[in-house]
Amino acid sequence: MSRYDEVCRALAAEPRRWLVTGAAGFIGSALVERLLALGQQVVGLDSFVTGHRANLDDVRAVVGDGAMGRFQLIEGDIRDLETCRRAAGEVDLVLHQAALGSVPRSIEDPIASHQANVDGTVNVFVAAHAAGVKRVVYASSSSVYGDHPGLPKVEDAIGKPLSPYAATKRIDEVYADVWQRSFGLEVVGLRYFNVYGRRQDPQGPYAAVIPRWIAALASGAPCVIFGDGSQSRDFCYVDNAVQANLLAALGPAGAAAEVYNVGLEGRTDLVALYRMLRERVATFRPQAAAAEPEFAAPRPGDVQHSQASIDKIRDRLGYAATHAIDEGLTETVAWFMRRQESGSFRTPRSDVEIR
């Protein structure tokens, strides 16, 4: 039995009360779904700036009305300390996912990124400590590796941040270490590497590459690759990120005050990714098989290559990815195509973000 199976069985036998910030977002809603399926009590906090109520409706459709009876939604912003205090009251564990993602967004509006990602995270730490929360697991990012050239990326070797977004995530890691040392709050950081999957938003100027390209291929819109397509990423299916969060939350005391990479320890370049998505979408929309990408100039703040070393999270927390790139893309395309057939999302713009 895997460590993750052990954790899930333990939670089902002894339910906890959890706070998930960003609960209506992509990763947040996946966490809510899994926790409710395991019989947990869940408080969700979301401002709906980037999250969507439809994501929580979809969670309800998956877990059922009975399980949703154990879910409490607080609509509010992590930038407000009193809202964080109310959300964190009487919870055992916090999974902090709320943030303003996107490198281009942070370049256009660095103040908003700082307020949400740094001020908001400090508020969550303050509120969790005051409420006597056992542990906080927070979302960091592979962007903190910045200009460090090494591959795969290892947790103790980072470079200079290349964007305000990356800087906010690095500051979060510094604060997390300080909070554990100064206040005794157990804090664990997860550096996500290009997480993708169901409920990831294909709309808007900051949409991530995989849902945007699926929607574009399905509807005949162009897919744009910024750069020559040789840049590569460690694409990680959302269920792997869910596993990492639960393992981090229930890991041994020595696992706190640490950051861990969450990925596959693999790399897929953008041209290869495009072909993999095209092949899968074409099983639903045969006309997609003939589609070709368009190319545009590289965008500022993007790194050329990214790949996670997962030795640390595997050895210390028992992480073992359940979905490789093939399985993850197959499930993701099928989910989005079902939504497209029901009219759940529109033809996307072509200015996709690679992150």
Q: Are 205 and 155 in contact (CB under 8 A)?
A: no
* Helix 238-249 vs helix 3-13: crossing angle, to nearest 10: 70
Q: What's at 48, amino acid-wise?
A: F
Question: Which tokens go with 248?
Answer: 């981090």
And the tokens for 310? 């997962």
107: closest CA among 299, 349, 297, 354? 299
CA 14 to CA 319: how far, in whole Å? Answer: 21
Are 207 and 213 spatial neighbours (Cβ–Cβ below 8 Å)?
no
Q: Is 196 a catalytic residue?
A: no
Cα–Cα distance for residue pair 122/110, rounded to 1 Å: 17
Q: Which of 138, 145, 165, 260 is catalytic?
A: 165
The encoded tokens of residue 170 equal 């690095």
Active site (catalytic) residues:
165
